[in-house]
């Protein structure tokens, strides 16, 4: 699948600006939680294979790109061209990550967990991230943010069933399937991460308290 499907809603002039602000704040949260040092290795799970001003903020902002390994679908040609110092590994949806236990200092993922499928699939995704890295940072759109991230539709996603019905047979039909998009909140993530003591669930992005644009799963075992 072409990653451009994830950016079809970015048609109004201010969307890119607000997306940039949200992702900059997410990156600032990441930097506060995890000390950036030249030797810190990071696995970016599910980076975008379409590189533009709205994608791959870690690769754009992290000061040690040679310590980043991108894991994503496809051959990664655009990623390799845009970030020649970054490593790239092709992965298969639903399959374990092709890395040894504890291979990385940090597993990072932004706007991926909501696309992997049901609760069982999310648990496998989280478990595998926590297997291959000693620390984890996973960010997702907050379902209670007033604007639905993938379509730009206001408020209707507060009732996922109504939104899915409304999207059928439109250009956003892809998002009508729960396997392609699930609506996640801090409460859902707290419940699904309860098996891992020490995990924090943090609101970030555009700051609106529990309505903030993003929620992050933070597991910093180096300071526990």
Tell me which H or E stretch contains 12. none
Question: pLDDT at position 46, please?
Answer: 95
Tell me which H or E stretch contains 124. helix 119-132
Q: Is the dihedral of CA 189, 190, 193, 195 positive or negative?
A: negative
Question: pLDDT at position 96, please?
Answer: 97
Return the structure tokens found at 99.
Answer: 């890395």
Write the CATH number of the domain with boundaries 15-147+185-223.
3.40.50.150
Tell me which H or E stretch contains 191. helix 186-192
Backbone φ/ψ region at 94: left (φ over 0), alpha (ψ -120 to 50), beta: left
Could you tell me which residues are beta bridge partners of residue 202?
Answer: 216
Question: pLDDT at position 16, please?
Answer: 74
* Model pTM score: 0.93
Pairwise CA distance, residues 203 & 212, whole Å: 6
Vertex 16 angle, CA 122 and 106, to 5°: 40
Structural domain boundaries in the chain: 15-147+185-223
Question: pLDDT at position 51, please?
Answer: 86
Tell me which H or E stretch contains 217. strand 214-220
Question: pLDDT at position 10, please?
Answer: 46
Could you tell me which residues are beta bridge partners of residue 67?
Answer: none
Pairwise CA distance, residues 175 & 14, whole Å: 22
pLDDT values of the chain reduced to their tens digit, one per residue, 224 residues:
555 555 555 455 566 778 889 999 999 999 999 987 899 999 999 999 888 888 899 999 999 999 999 999 989 999 999 999 999 999 999 999 999 999 999 999 999 999 999 999 999 999 999 999 999 999 999 999 999 999 999 999 999 999 999 999 999 999 999 999 999 999 999 999 999 999 999 999 999 999 999 999 999 987 54
């Amino acid at each position: 699948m072409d990653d451009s499907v994830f950016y079809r809603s970015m048609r109004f002039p201010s969307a890119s600006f607000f997306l940039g602000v949200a992702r900059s704040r997410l990156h600032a949260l990441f930097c506060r939680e995890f000390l950036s040092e030249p030797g810190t290795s990071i696995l970016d799970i599910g980076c975008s294979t379409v590189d533009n001003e709205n994608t791959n903020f870690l690769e754009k902002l992290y000061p040690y790109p040679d310590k980043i390994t991108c894991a994503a679908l496809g051959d990664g040609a655009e990623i390799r061209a845009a970030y020649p110092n970054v490593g790239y590994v092709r992965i298969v949806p639903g399959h374990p990550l092709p890395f040894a236990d504890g291979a990385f200092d940090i597993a990072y993922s932004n706007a991926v967990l909501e696309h992997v499928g049901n609760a069982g699939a999310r648990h496998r995704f989280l478990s595998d991230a926590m297997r291959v890295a000693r620390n984890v940072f996973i960010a997702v759109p907050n379902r209670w943010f007033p604007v639905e991230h993938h379509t730009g539709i206001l408020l209707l996603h507060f009732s996922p069933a109504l939104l899915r019905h409304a999207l059928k047979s439109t250009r956003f039909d892809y998002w009508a399937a729960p396997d392609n998009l699930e609506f996640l909140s801090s409460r859902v993530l707290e419940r699904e991460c309860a098996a891992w003591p020490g995990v924090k669930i943090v609101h970030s992005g555009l700051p609106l308290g529990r309505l903030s644009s993003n929620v992050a799963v933070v597991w910093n075992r180096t300071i526990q």
